[in-house]
Amino acid sequence: MSLSRCTIFTRVANFCRKVLLREEDVPAETKDQNLMTIIPRDKHNISRKDISENALKVLYRLNKAGFEAYLVGGGVRDLLLGKKPKDFDITTNATPEQMRKLFRNCRLVGRRFRLAHVMFGPEVIEVATFRGHHASEAAADNEHDRNQSQRGQNGMLLRDNIFGSIEDDAQRRDLTINSLYYSVADFTVRDYVGGLQDLQQGVIRLIGDPETRYREDPVRMLRVVRFAAKLNMTIAAETAEPVTRLSSLLTDIPSARLFEESLKLLQTGYGEQTYGLLMQYQLFQPLFPTITQYLTAQGDSPMERMIIQVLKNTDRRIHNDMRVNPAFLFAAMLWYPQSERAQQIAQESGLPWYEAFALAMNDTLDEACRAIAIPKRITSLIRDIWSLQLRLPRRHGKRAWKLMEHPKFRAAYDLLLLRAETENSSELERLGQWWGEFQSAPPVRQSAMINSLGSDPHQRRRHNRSRRRQPSARNN
């Protein structure tokens, strides 16, 4: 179907206006591309033998098909630091649709950020197309533009599928140390934003204007803190300055995403250091408002000591390649807010302690889940760990053996030991010692330990009541 001259002229005019506006909107620092540094193979320590074979397959196939392709992000950063990367990410000028045609084992994911996942059994190689700069609101005047890029009223990026060059992509990344590109074509490392110097000096620096970048995605504030703790680096002054002012923006982030971020912050081996930085920059409150209301000026309450200790224990287990469970971490962190709430309900309503305790579990978890959407599979385990705290003192009869059969007994026992340590409670210490000995004792010794407890203080007294005689048939 032919188009009128007027329609063609309008489309050409709109296109020219968008190009001109986009050129004006490019940040000043991106217009000078002379800052690019190419580090040859003999000047860096990255070797292909340290890179995943599957990542190399993707890079080679993209290059063979005529596309640019680079290893980028944390993989390059960790290799330069002499560490083993957790995963390998790739960036290319191939679009997601071209990726899907090139790799049969590829699937496209994400709406806000369109990505290609190339599947090699359990290993997933994430491939992103070079990101470009965003057109102004005036330029985004049709439905196609809104589908590619969209911002909220607060500046947050709702969609970000604008593609560009590698130079654009380097400026669109968050941290300078994550904006280093390794090429398998010539084995060089490309640095467009001074990331190598920051890596050598141990500086966490945001690319571009920090406040604008934080408003685009407030989770970047959490990433800055996480990498500073993980890599033991300092945060650049201009990167740190807006964080406290903008920390409340995290409340605009979906709670499910914040849950995933909370695990990255607290369960990757550097939780204790990360907790200190979260408190320093007032980022802890949006994640854990339930806990924040019980914090003290001195930071030495049982709850705060419990948080620090459980994070230390978690870090130690991760560094020793031991399993960690987020249910136990959250059960420990939220134990004292839950206990305070139970006491409040019991005093105000006059309910028995067990009923007040159950209601407090609901209230505490509901409030916590509004900030970070803790999945139900985890909250159910938290409830088990908490409920067992009330059952651990009751060891008479067959109860002790039954408690040990509970799937979360070990986690409940560990929480008991944490409580004894943080509260300096001799009663809890004796209870923890008893259970520690009971678990390893032979059956004969276990029976003797139970018999030595004496009578059960919780045993209900049974009163002999004469049964009311039923009228006989003769009396009817």
Residues with active-site annotation: 87, 89, 174
DSSP character string of 167-218: HHHHHHSSBGGG-EEE-TTT--EEESSSHHHHHHHTEE-BSS-HHHHHHH-T
Q: How many residues does the chain have?
A: 476
Pairing of strands 37-39, 189-191: antiparallel
Q: Is 348 in contact with 399 (CB distance < 8 Å)?
A: no
Start-to-end CA distance of the chain, whole Å, equals: 100
110-116 — which CB contacts under 8 Å span 24+ positions? 111/159, 112/157, 112/158, 112/159, 112/160, 113/160, 113/161, 114/161
Q: Phi, psi at residue 266, to the nearest 5°?
A: -110, -10
Q: Is 116 in contact with 163 (CB distance < 8 Å)?
A: no
In whole angstroms, what is the distance from residue 182 CA to residue 85 CA? 14
Q: Is 69 in contact with 51 (CB distance < 8 Å)?
A: no
Amino acid at 323: R
The structure tokens 């005019």 sit at 13
In whole angstroms, what is the distance from residue 382 CA to residue 422 CA? 19
Picking from 349, 373, 369, the residue whose alpha carbon sits closest to that of residue 359 is: 349
What is the maximal distance between C-alpha atoms in the chain?
A: 112
